[in-house]
């Protein structure tokens, strides 16, 4: 057993007290992901490379100063690759793990949500690409829920992730700073009427705001439950 696996097992002492909504991934699957951590890192780096290719057209349309806020999903997979890699090297970085958690929850849910909301408009995508995007992003949520095994999510680290993803919300939908809103390009005009009298921009903005708040709640709830478990053992 490696030192990193032993560390994960110690972390699981807290994790076992987490309610199912905070740790929904079966322990066997968590252990498998941690045991093959470098494979998980490699898969996420491959996803990052694919994602940057996928966003290449949007980069061309976006002022260079705003490029860091464009490739949302590729950055999320890069964050998780770096976070798990740092942990495997015995140098877990709480701020990086928190960024990975937020990114994989937010984008892992937002992309399937958007694919469903605009399913008819996405008919131009090959069926295999549509399903690849849908299920690969849901897999990001699964890996996010394993990160409690390697971090206690200190409040300052959660704050770093919250600030980054709130800044992303601002430039994506509300105050683009340079140019137009920088959200991922969708297959309809932003002003297209949708359900509940919302336009397309409102629909995708509502989804991302909801998922950022969800990630914030989950991260802080994990922190609270771990602190409670540590206090009960003291």
| Mean pLDDT calculated for residue range 159-188 | 95
CA distances from 15 to 146, 149, 203, 230 (A): 10, 7, 35, 11
At 84-136, the pLDDT tens digits run 999 999 999 999 999 999 999 999 999 999 999 999 999 999 999 999 999 99
Residues 6+ apart with CB under 8 A from 173: 181, 183, 201, 204, 205, 208
pLDDT of residue 15: 42
Q: Domain tally for the chain?
A: 1
Q: Predicted confidence band at 1 (pLDDT cuts at 50, 70, 90)? A: very low
Say yes or no to pLDDT of 185 above 90. yes
d(CA 43, CA 90) in angstroms, rounded, equals 20
Predicted confidence at residue 197, as pLDDT, reads: 81
Q: How confident is the model at residue 10 (pLDDT cuts 50, 70, 90)?
A: very low
Q: Looking at residue 16, what is its pLDDT?
A: 53
Say whether pLDDT at 3 is over 60: no
In this structure, the dihedral spanned by the alpha carbons of residues 153, 155, 160 and 165, taken in order and rounded to 10 degrees, is 80
pLDDT band (50, 70, 90) for residue 5: very low
The predicted-structure confidence for 186-203, as pLDDT tens digits, reads as follows 999 989 998 878 899 999
> In terms of residue numbers, what domain contains 209?
3-233
pLDDT at position 234, please?
61
Q: Residue 13: pLDDT above 50?
A: no
Q: Please, are residues 200 and 190 in contact by the beta-carbon 8 Å criterion?
A: yes
Q: Average per-residue pLDDT in the chain?
A: 92
Give me the mean pLDDT over the 156-179 stretch.
96
């Amino acid at each position: 057993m490696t030192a990193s696996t032993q560390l994960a097992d110690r972390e699981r002492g807290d994790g076992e007290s987490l309610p199912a909504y905070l740790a929904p991934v079966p322990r066997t699957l968590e252990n498998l992901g941690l045991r093959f951590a470098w494979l998980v890192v490699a898969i996420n780096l491959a996803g990052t490379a694919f994602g940057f290719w996928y966003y290449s057209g949007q980069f061309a349309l976006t002022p260079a100063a705003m490029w860091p806020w464009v490739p949302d999903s590729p950055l999320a997979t890069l964050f998780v690759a770096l976070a798990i890699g740092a942990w495997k090297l015995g140098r877990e970085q709480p701020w990086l793990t928190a960024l990975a958690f937020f990114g994989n929850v937010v984008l892992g849910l937002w992309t399937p949500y958007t694919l469903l909301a605009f399913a008819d408009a996405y008919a131009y995508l090959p069926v295999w690409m549509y399903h690849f995007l849908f299920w690969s992003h849901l897999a990001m949520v699964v890996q996010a829920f394993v990160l409690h095994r390697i971090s206690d999510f200190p409040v300052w680290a959660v704050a770093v992730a919250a600030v980054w993803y709130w800044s992303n919300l601002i430039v994506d939908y509300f105050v683009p700073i340079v140019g137009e809103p920088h959200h991922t390009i969708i297959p309809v005009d932003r002003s297209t009427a949708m359900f509940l009298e919302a336009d397309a921009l409102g629909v995708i903005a509502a989804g991302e705001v909801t998922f950022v708040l969800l990630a914030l709640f989950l991260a802080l709830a994990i922190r609270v439950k771990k602190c409670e478990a540590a206090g009960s053992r003291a």
